[in-house]
Structure 1
Amino acid sequence: MTFDTQQASALLRRMFDAAIAAAQPSLTLARHLPERPKGRTIVIGAGKASAAMAQAFENAWPWALEGLVVTRYGYAVPCERVEIVEAAHPVPDTAGYDAARRMLELVSGLTEDDLVVSLISGGGSALLPLPLAGISLEDKQQINRELLKSGATITEINCVRRHLSAIKGGRLAAACYPARVCNLLLSDVPGDDPIDIASGPTVPDPTSREDALDIVRRYGLEVPTHVMRALESDAAETVKPGDVLLPPIDTTLIATPRMALQAAASVAHEAGLAVHLLGDAIEGNSRDVGLVLGALALESANHQLFPSPCVLMSGGETTVTVRGKGRGGRNVEFLLALALTLRGDTRIHALAGDTDGVDGQEEIAGAIVTPDTLQRAWALGIRPQDALTNNDGHGFFEALGNAVVTGPTFTNVNDFRAILIAP
């Protein structure tokens, strides 16, 4: 079995598309509907997939409902009974701030006969930027930028976000009391912990403000003095498991990274390839992961660690510490480090991309590495190692014509990585 560059790239793209398709709310949400309440049904939500989730819920729910959902600019879909608001991601804006405030108002004054359906997906943290008293939206924007370029894991980033928020860390769930809360979640985080999906607005938080302070100190984040004072105060503490302020909560994951990877694996199997899933929750520095997976790919190609032909697949969320003048992007940074490790091995191709269609802050999902990636770059006068040092993976792959652009995918189950090893 042999693959030329065009065939290998096409197969990898079909796998990526299958992963995205498997995580569409229209396919997964309807099977998890809650019982109809005696009273009102209120739909709330936030995240890159939340509008698509609201549409899927509307289509499956024949009874009365009302609601408010906030999603990323460009990710709105038509809904008849749920208001869809678009806001900025990953750095929040006033549209998200206003939507968060209105969402708290919407769920106030409910009764135990009412039902709140919470549709939460990745990206919801930035889309619900309602800070604690004494902290401004500008403060939140600055802290968000600091967190994104710090190299902190998504779990660490969300811990800080929760403790600076007036709506996350279970606070939105507490506002729903005594109404029943049904969480339908689409996971984009390693480990699928609900508290880390959009920083857990409708689930209790077992972490503490001391945990958040440790993270701020660990990464040397530049945080204004008044924000540090707020983080050190009792007001920063989130709603804990077992708190009497919490209503009855039922939480279901309607799509996860593993489900998406399994769908992609089916495409590879149909093409006659063995699939080795290395994990759906890989974290760490993007370039370090690229070096390690590149070494595994070479060992497989040369010494049959994983007998070829095969595909090495993984998911998770790596991080980029932006020190250069490039635009970052964890998937393209991973791929650039991978290409440098492979050194043009003619048997190995790879694709990595974010299933939400946005790698970092770019409207680009990721990219493809081919055996001639480095050679073509040198021919254009581009030095791959310089591009990596400058955190300029996006510029590098755009110049080669190997960027993967999907447009809005209306889902978000984290990163997808596939390395195809031919005989």
Structure 2
Amino acid sequence: MIDNPSAFLRRTFDAAVASAEPGAAVLRHLPEKPRGRCVIIGAGKASASMAAALDAAWPDVELSGVVVTSYGHAVPAGRMEIIEASHPVPDAMSEEAGRRILAAVEGLGPDDLVVALISGGGSALMVAPSGGMSLADKQAVNKALLNCGAAIGEMNAVRKHLSSIKGGRLAAAARPARVVSLVISDVPGDDPATIASGPTVGDASTLADVREIVARYAIELPAAARAVLDAGEETPKPGDIEADLTIVAAPSMALAAAAEVARAAGVTPLILGDALEGEAREMGKVMAGIARSVRLTGHPAKAPVLLLSGGETTVTIGNGQAGRGGRNSEFLLGLAVALGGMEGVYALACDSDGIDGSEDAAGAVITPDTLVRAREKGLDARAFLSGHDSYSFFEALGDLVKTGPTLTNVNDIRAILVV
């Protein structure tokens, strides 16, 4: 029996996040120490924590480096310089970080080692616009990609072809040094070419793919960005880059940790997948159907069931005025509306980095009385959903989950408890 379903769901989320603690993940996969120089570079919300662990583990190695992370995610990292920059839209510090990181890998030899610490968020945090593109052009592209409804892999294909550092170009710049990448995955399927737009691995996407994505989503590109695509310069391909890469933490590991918490509490966990994608509100409908089926048709030994899933949904804004919220709170609001107050179903959905979209909450929780409590406060759940204002809805109910920056990122964690 679960006495406090909301607290139980929070424990499962906390366990998922703890399983992806960056320092411990890096220490499990340290490469062989180099004969020559050692340069540490990194980009992502977990990169500073990863760098701090590596610095402490190698006191006898002469090393230096530059790492960029999101504002509020910096920690002291010994001999490495930590830069903070903006996410999800890059700022001047993102461009400065890109320039400094490229400079750090210049002039290295075959006995030198570059350790690349890569995690989610790196695409925006480390930028080096191609050709005649300005930072403003890069920002316009990022905003258009975030609002068009494209999947993360599609967005990153565009980013890579408009960058001088993404899509394997960072690894190419470090030649002939050995490049070892330690990566925390935040993308469906753990594709290293997609995580932070794959700066150290070859890129299988092509200019033709990018032009098709831009056309399909009717993305308005700045003139300088169109000129880069028209110039026809391809990214380094998988056969062009020798990738020594290890995924040190991933969504599948986080969901497994959450499942262990469930088992210890006498709850049957069902992991539905760690790479689920789609429109957030529509995913809410789908998950409501699964929860309803479990509730109405029974489940093993009539024990409570925890439906676990990960991945990255999308929120398509369209031309209307959007309120506040991220994909997790929008998923939950869609789930709540679809469940219609069904008894025995509770849910949590949070981004493992502690930031749902650009808000100060990781996500939220729903309970069987969510809609009843909303009506008592004069809140129309469907109207908030239509206005992409899920943050305001859950804030009014006191049901936001606020963790602050967790300093890691293994994508979204969704947990639905059926009792």
Q: Normalized against structure 1, the TM-score is what?
A: 0.96
Corresponding residue of 1:217 = 215
What corresponds to 2:292 in structure 1?
A: 298
Structure 1: distance between partners of 2:399 and 2:332: 11
Q: 1:313 aligns with which of 267, 289, 308?
A: 308
Partner of 1:128: 126
- Provide the residue aligned with 2:375 in structure 1: 378
1:266 paired to 2:260: yes
Pair 1:254 & 2:248 matched:
yes
Retained in 2: the 8 A contact 1:300–1:308? no
Partner in structure 1 of residue 63 of structure 2: 65
Distance 1:322 1:242 in 2: 38
Partners of 2:305 and 2:417 within 8 A in 1: yes
Question: What is the aligned-residue RMSD (CA, Å)?
Answer: 1.1
2:47 equivalent to 1:47? no
* Residue 320 (structure 2) pairs with residue 322 (structure 1): no
C-alpha contact (below 8 Å) 1:122/1:186 kept by paired residues: yes
Distance of 1:178 and 1:121 partners within structure 2 = 24
- State the one-letter code of the partner of 2:32: E
For 2:94 and 2:223, how far apart are their aligned partners in 1?
25
Aligned partners of 2:105, 2:296: CA distance in 1, in Å?
60
Answer with 284-293 or 319-328: which moved more. Answer: 319-328
* Alpha-carbon separation, structure 2, partners of 1:375 and 1:241: 54
Alpha-carbon separation, structure 1, partners of 2:350 and 2:14 = 10
Query: Could you say which residue in structure 2 is the equivalent of 1:26?
Result: 23
What is residue 38 of structure 1 aligned with on the other side? 35
Alignment correspondent of 2:283: 289
Give the drift of 1:210.
Answer: 1.2
Query: Equivalent residue for 1:369?
Result: 366
1:397 corresponds, among 394, 397, 408, to 394
Report the alpha carbon displacement of residue 66 of structure 1 after superposing the two structures with TM. 0.5
CA distance in 2, matches of 1:349, 1:284: 21
Q: Corresponding residue for 1:149?
A: 147
- Amino acid of the residue matched to residue 305 of structure 2? C
CA distance in 1, matches of 2:340, 2:46: 37
Q: Which moved more, 1:320-329 or 1:35-44?
A: 320-329
CA distance in 1, matches of 2:107, 2:351: 39
C-alpha distance in 2 between matches for 1:197 and 1:124: 8
Equivalent AA in structure 1 for residue 246 of structure 2: T
Task: Give 2:236's aligned amino acid.
Answer: V
CA distance in 2, matches of 1:203, 1:322: 32
For the structure 1 residues 408 and 79, does the alpha-carbon distance in structure 2 shift closer, same or farther, using more than 3 Å as the test?
A: same
1:212 to partner: Cα distance: 1.0
Partner of 1:208 in structure 2?
206
Cα distance in 1 for residues equivalent to 2:412 and 2:390: 16
Determine the structure 1 residue equivalent to 2:184.
186
Q: Which amino acid aligns with 2:315?
A: V
Distance 2:281 2:177 in 1: 46
| TM-superposed deviation, 1:305 | 5.9
Asked if 2 retains the 8 angstrom alpha-carbon contact of 1:116 and 1:181, the reply is yes
Structure 2 gaps, min length 5: none
1:421 is aligned to 2:415: no
Please give the residue correspondences for 1:83-122 in structure 2 after superposition, counting only pairs within 5 Å. Answer: 83-122=81-120
Hey, what's the Cα distance between the residues in 2 that align with 1:231 and 1:359?
Answer: 32
- Mapped to 2, the partners of 1:107 and 1:129 lie a distance apart of 15
Indicate the residue corresponding to 2:13 in structure 1.
16
Q: Please give the TM-score of this superposition, normalised by the length of structure 2.
A: 0.97
Whole-Å separation in 2 of the counterparts to 1:10 and 1:291: 24
User: Aligned residue for 1:76?
Assistant: 74
Whole-Å separation in 2 of the counterparts to 1:186 and 1:233: 33
What secondary structure sits across from 2:239 in the alignment? coil
**Count of residue pairs the alignment pairs up:** 415
**Secondary structure, in 3 states, of the residue corresponding to 1:334?**
helix
State the distance in 2 between where 1:102 and 1:28 align.
26
- 2:161 corresponding residue in structure 1: 163
- Offset at residue 57 of structure 1 (A): 1.0
**Deviations, residues 316-337 of structure 1 (Å, cap 9, x unaligned):** 0000001342124100010001
Give the SS at the match of 2:87: coil
Offset at residue 308 of structure 1 (A): 4.3
The alignment partner of 2:45 has SS state of: coil
Q: Is the contact between residue 26 and residue 53 of structure 1 (CA under 8 Å) also seen in structure 2?
A: yes
Counterpart CA distance in 1 for 2:37 and 2:9 is 46
1:386 maps to amino acid = A
Q: In 2, are the aligned partners of 1:213 and 1:232 still within 8 Å (CA)? A: no
C-alpha distance in 2 between matches for 1:101 and 1:263: 38
Is it true that 1:353 corresponds to 2:347 in the alignment? no
Q: Is the 8 A contact 2:167 2:198 kept in 1?
A: yes
C-alpha separation in 1, matches of 2:212 and 2:403: 38
C-alpha deviation, 1:249, in angstroms: 3.0
Deviation of 1:242 after TM superposition, in Å, equals: 2.1
Shift of 1:345: 1.5
